[in-house]
Amino acid sequence: MTTVSFIAKNALRNKRRALLTILSVAVSLFLFVTLLVALRELTMPPEDIGASLRIAVRNKVSIASPLPARQLATIEQIPGVETVTPFTFFGGKFKNDESVGFAQFAIDPTKLMTIFGEAKIPADQLDAWIKDRASCIVGRDTALRYKLKVGDRISLIGTLWPCDLDLKIAGIYSGTLDDRNMWFHHKYLDDALGGESGKVGTWWVKARSAEDVPRVVDAINAAFANTSAEVRAETERAFQMSFVSMWGNIKGFISSICSVVVFTLVLVTASTMSMAIRERFRELAVLKALGFRRRELFAFILAESFGLALIGAILGAGGAWLFYSTTNIAKLTGGVFPFFEVTPKILGVAFLVAALLGIIASLAPAIAAARMSVVEGLKTLD
């Protein structure tokens, strides 16, 4: 019998207990990886290639407060600004949705490809949308979800604005990080409000270069300081994080859950290992009598504990990577998470936790076995 087969035989002596230990580690690490990925997606939203140049401008008091349309001329004249478009969230309900199933934004259609150049849409569909004020384009994911196609009509019941929209789908776009949105003419929204133009939700600005972004942000804030509609200009990344901050200390909350999961797993695994080693005190005493030293017994126990934890990590963390890599997470979460990437760093953290778990769980039984004398061990009942 080799050393490896000896360790494996002891680890699997009680197959039910070994299986339950492995499953507890696997399930806990699956949950651990899921929480870490969710935290990463919430605090580090993915960015496309043009995100570094985009600037969001909103009302300084509240994002729910609109801005005057006359600000457009001032923003366009700021050095470093390549283009700017109104960007107003409509928030309408479609069909029988109880809530807003997808976001709808009123913008200047001629500025779409300049600001959101990553969007892919056939040229004829883009041209048709630009020419028809009563038309819109929808993201591929939304089109698939509701079985929409070019030429269909889409009606939205207003929730934030006192009007409803009836639009014709002129095109379907794809290629963005979130292909669920709908874009339509801002002038159509003005018309739907009874010709009451002059208000926009936010402005989206594209700077000429990354070096211009800080200067443009400062210039926009300064241009409307001490006016009736002060603004807060910030990068797209900062704008996204402002929404995350509305959820409170989400990072601390998820981190605390991860800590509880790991702590509970340590207690369960350490208790299981202690029970398994206690049942073999007589065998360990025999090994001592045969000349095995304390460090060799400690290595056997550590290898057993480490092996069970490693198998659990492969099933749990590896299973999480496989599951989230092959699952449509946007559909599974109802669009809350468009992406759910298990990064190598997260996998590394999970396997590190498993390694530490195997070491910590073996400490107590290993110390007990080391302190045990041959006579005391032989007196122990199986």
Give Cα 362 to chain centroid, integer Å.
35
Q: What is the model's pLDDT at position 334?
A: 60
Instruction: Note the pTM of the prediction, 2 decimals.
Output: 0.66
Query: At 14, phi and psi to the nearest 5?
Result: -100, 95
Distances (CA, A) of 35 to 18, 39, 47, 60: 26, 6, 21, 33
Q: What is the model's pLDDT at position 360?
A: 82
**What is the block-wise mean pLDDT of the chain (382 residues), using blocks of 10 residues?**
63 73 87 86 64 88 87 92 92 76 89 87 93 93 88 88 90 85 91 77 91 92 90 84 63 80 81 68 61 67 79 90 81 66 88 86 70 59 50
Q: What is the model's pLDDT at position 204?
A: 92
**Tokens encoding 359:** 């070491």
Q: d(Cα 200, Cα 222) in Å, to the nearest integer?
A: 19
Q: What is the model's pLDDT at position 190?
A: 87
- Spatial strand order in the sheet of 81-89: 93-94, 153-157, 165-173, 135-139, 182-185, 104-107, 81-89, 202-207, 54-59, 231-235
Q: What is the model's pLDDT at position 263?
A: 84
Q: What is the model's pLDDT at position 13?
A: 66
Going from N- to C-terminal start, the domains of the chain cover 3-46+248-379, 61-229
Q: What is the model's pLDDT at position 137?
A: 95
Polymer length in residues for the chain = 382
Q: What is the model's pLDDT at position 30?
A: 92
Q: What is the model's pLDDT at position 182?
A: 92
